[in-house]
Structure 1
């Protein structure tokens, strides 16, 4: 049996996650383009290591069969609009952590000019097997799934329209990322009253497999909080749309906002992050 024809893919934009996803395509021989306009040296380095092909402008992606958007949630609509304003007529995969309603608005933005597939990436950047999944929904989701078959990013097609994959992604993220916010709040409270070490011992004995039992994981959360802040806002919006209370998510959004100065900081410590939560 011969391999299916693989279209040229456009990738917007190769951050840590996007570059890792793009590398999964290039290792399969899929020609994958990225747009260098307005991007810095770090992005260029990631794109080069992932085997991506540089093009200067978004309009240069118009002939791609698939365009994949992987960006912070706050920029998802802007990126989609930029592509919708080109001559692109293929499949637009929005793999950002945005609410089902916002994903549907992306679909409306393209109208009948291109087909939108909804994607939700769950897990860390796919650099080894079994750690990351790509949930997909929408009419042409199976075609997109075929691009990632056999890669470290496991594709899972959900029955139903655009918005369903985003809903699953956000529902999982609500629990997963709130646990880090709760752990940080708990440790900050304990430190304030001089019982931080005792909380570490207690959590290690009773909740060893959780962020409370493994406080070193708070560092990773702090480094990524600049993305998580926007994700909490999207989950809160999805809750409002569903008639659910958004208060927990709004509180987590505010907590993660306090860590914005530590974006991708390899030297930040748990102690610094906990101190950032204190109004004092």
Structure 2
């Protein structure tokens, strides 16, 4: 677990034999910087990659399903990017119960990339929108245990939303 700040957990109290050293070892602690906030920044950038990819995969698989090319997309990924397919399948099918939390996290990540990185907020606000659609479509995890069902449930959610606005 990355940690930052002027004080290292391992140094509290009593050095190598102290409680801090033992707790740091249990947590897998790694002090990365004396600057407050560095570990939080790392967390945001790491989540950008992992959860951002899951949002892209969810959007891609849902759209492929709606276009009738989901099996073709899987075949292409399997042939050209097999590790991406494995990561996507695991990410998309384990994400639905957490989607409600990830909406706010994507908004925070958007803010970090905008304020600290100088980028526009759109990319991760879009990811927040993907997770909001999953939250609205799957709720408390009655569905969404397969890639196909996540895509189907999100599609059904979009169709229901469209009917309400028509």
Q: Pick from 118, 129, 141: which aligns with 1:265? A: 141
Q: Pick from 40, 43, 47: which aligns with 1:173? A: 47
Q: For the residues of structure 1 that align with 2:25 and 2:93, how far apart are their CA atoms? A: 32
- Runs in 1 of length 4+ with deviation above 6 angstroms? none
Please show how residues 42-191 of structure 1 align to structure 2 within 5 Å.
134-142=1-9, 143=11, 146-151=21-26, 153-191=27-65
Q: Flag the 1:211–1:204 CA change in 2: closer, same or farther, 3 A.
A: closer
Contact 2:144–2:153, Cα closer than 8 Å, also in 1: no
Q: Which has the higher contact order (CA 8 A, sep 6+)?
A: 2
Contact 2:74–2:85, Cα closer than 8 Å, also in 1: no
Shift of 1:172: 1.1
Aligned partner of 1:250 in structure 2 is: 125
Return 5+ residue gaps in structure 1 as ranges. Answer: 1-133
Contact 1:235–1:249, Cα closer than 8 Å, also in 2: yes
Q: Secondary structure at the match of 1:136?
A: strand
Q: For the residues of structure 2 that align with 1:246 and 1:212, how far apart are their CA atoms? A: 28
Q: Which has the higher strand share?
A: 1
Q: For the residues of structure 2 that align with 1:214 and 1:159, how far apart are their CA atoms? A: 32
Q: For the residues of structure 2 that align with 1:219 and 1:253, how far apart are their CA atoms? A: 17
Contact 1:179–1:211, Cα closer than 8 Å, also in 2: no
Q: Which has the higher helix share?
A: 2
Q: Flag the 1:246–1:214 CA change in 2: closer, same or farther, 3 A.
A: closer
TM-score, with length taken from structure 2: 0.76
Q: Secondary structure at the match of 1:150?
A: helix
TM-score, with length taken from structure 1: 0.47
Return 5+ residue gaps in structure 2 as ranges. Answer: 13-19, 160-166
Shift of 1:267: 4.9
